[in-house]
Amino acid sequence: MSETQSRRVAFVTGGSRGIGEAIVHSLAANSMHVVAVARNSEKLAALVAGMTAAGLSVEALSVDVADGAALAAAIEQTIEKLGRLDVLVNNAGITRDGLFMRMEDRDFDDVINTNLRAAFVACRAAARAMIRAKWGRIINIASVSGIIGNAGQVNYSASKAGLIGMTKSIARELAGKQVTANCVAPGFTTTDMTDVLPPQIKDKVLEIIPLRRFGTPVEVAQVVAFLAGDTAGYITGQVIAVDGGMSM
């Protein structure tokens, strides 16, 4: 058995930047072999080069998760190549913000397809290997918007609320096989998506965060790493908000 095959294997979508990149690093730092998945092959290559140079076990797959067939094939390819799949993190997501009265059907459908349907496809494909192994961790990255809603994000909030309901249902179906399923729901987190917000918008957001600051990708990733480990084996069907108190 090779060193890679002896490690637990994690499959992380949206793994090339922001929260996803932090999750890839955190799981790899916990001695897992991580398959980082994203559309941008150049960013993935740079990510893998940097992490492998640091002694971490990471590889990349360039996949558009909105293509369900390609996503399922990538998971099946991973299982066939590495002989196992222990942890699935559905982190990939998009936004198409706008007031719902003006929102185009395509903007709604694209967000639901990428944020919710893709996660369903990935969970279904990964669960087979986890059931066989009688061990697995499914971690879906939801959002505070899926818990409390957010004006201008009807599509995004719906996708994340759906992800929460789906995760709870999966948790009930797979519990007897010792496979857990949980959601991590970040609030406003410092990424390239929030960096472009105008200062006045950031100030308004900070007013509704009890901790009066944005979170960091690492803070989210550390919760994911905990849920992916052995010590979280009695936690399933839960939504853990990493939102500075917004949803309390």
> Which positions are annotated as active-site residues?
156
Single-letter code of the amino acid located at 57: S
Instruction: Show the beta-strand stretches assigned E in 42-172.
Output: 58-62, 87-90, 136-141
Tokens of 166: 């789906």
Residues in the chain: 248
Q: Which residues contact 8 (CB under 8 A, 6 or more apart)?
A: 31, 32, 33, 84, 86, 87
